[in-house]
Structures are given as C-alpha cells and as structure tokens.
Chains A and B, each alone.
Chain A
Amino acid sequence: DTAVSQTPKYLVTQMGNDKSIKCEQNLGHDTMYWYKQDSKKFLKIMFSYNNKELIINETVPNRFSPKSPDKAHLNLHINSLELGDSAVYFCASSRQGAYGYTFGSGTRLTVV
C-alpha cells in the first residue's frame, strides 16, 4: 500500500484551464503539506494543514486553493493556469510536531 499517493502523476494542460491534484495518506498522520519543485529541483512549501485546519499559507497566488475534506486528504486546485505553474508538485504528511515528512511521488504539471 502506498503511504502518500497523488493523482494524477502527469498533467498536461493549456494555459487558462483549471485543474486539481489529489493527495491521500494512509499513515494516520495529522499534518499534510504541498510543496512545489521547480526545474532546478528547488523545493518550496506552499501550504500545510493540520487536522483539516490551514496552518501554513506561503506567498502563493490566489489561483491556488488547497482543500482538506478530512485529515487523510489534501487536494490542490489551480485556477487559470499559467506557464510558470509548470513544476512538480509534491504532497507530504507527518505526525503533528514531527519533521520526518513522508512524500508522495509527485505530480508533474506541464502548462502549454
């Protein structure tokens, strides 16, 4: 069983479209994260939820909206996609207060 699973693995879409990426973890963790990895492999945190509550919201355009229906799921919706949104998006989870994050395998988003 995959601990942190993201879907889809690849997403190719046109500029201006709206898309969602889903994440689920079966580890019983309380905290989930979205990270963005750019073409130079730099990983930057975007959002974090703890028990469905938003706790970290970095400087991210309003076009990005996370949603956590329960503590095992954290989805990311992106409106009006732009070329610069092309990246690999990683979901991760951890126990509350712990820092050994478990990462998913990533969603490679390509905006054309």
Chain B
Amino acid sequence: GESVGLHLPTLSVQEGDNSIINCAYSNSASDYFIWYKQESGKGPQFIIDIRSNMDKRQGQRVTVLLNKTVKHLSLQIAATQPGDSAVYFCAEKGTDSWGKLQFGAGTQVVVTP
C-alpha cells in the first residue's frame, strides 16, 4: 500500500505486504530527516534517519528514500507486521541555529490480517 502524508491519511496494509509512507518536506535547505513511529498512547519513537548527502538508507525491515529534487521522503516497511500499526511521522531539521525538528502531519498505518 502507498499513501501521501501531511493530512493524517490512513494506510491499510495486509500483513506480510510492503508499506510505503510518503512525506513532502518544505525547506530545500534541510539537511537531515528522521522518521518516527507513534503507537497508541505512547510518545514518538525514532525509527531511522537520513542526511541530505544520501538518497537511500536501510535499517531492519525499513528503508528511507530521499529525493531532494522534489523534496520528497518515503519510508518503506518490508513484510508489514501487526506491531507496525501506528502513526508514522517524518521530521526535518530546521536551518535555524538550534535546528529544531519540524514534524509532518503523520500517516496512520493499520495492518489487517
């Protein structure tokens, strides 16, 4: 399944399928991006990050792709599991002196059996 972020859409994915979560960021000068996962009743948890000098980074079952030309970020989850059900946020590091993180609106992922 695939979705576009920024409006908290819901992405329904069958267990075992791959998920693709998309995010458009705003600042072309941003040089660092993070994906967070927020389970119900919990705070956001760091999943994976990527710097702007890379276009792909892989973790355990997750891959982040960065396309600076169109200011687009995606998170791919392989073999989606029930424990992957959560809200996923992309965040970009600001270019001010303290580089605060600006979060996107999030995408709700629901894994169905």
Give the B-binding residues of A (Cβ under 8 A): 4, 33, 35, 40-45, 48, 50, 55-56, 90, 92, 97, 99-106
Question: At the interface, is chain A mostly helix, strand, loop or mixed?
Answer: strand
Interface size class of B (residues with CB under 8 A): 20 to 34
Give the A-binding residues of B (Cβ under 8 A): 8, 32, 34, 38, 41-46, 49, 87, 89, 91, 93, 98-103, 105-106, 108
Q: 18 more A-B contacts (CB under 8 A) besides A42-B105, A101-B46, A106-B42?
A: A40-B8, A41-B8, A41-B106, A41-B108, A42-B8, A42-B103, A43-B103, A44-B103, A56-B100, A99-B32, A99-B49, A99-B93, A99-B99, A101-B44, A102-B46, A103-B43, A104-B43, A105-B42
Q: Which of A45, A102, A105, A106 sits near B100, CB closer than 8 Å?
A: A45
Number of inter-chain CB pairs below 8 Å? 57
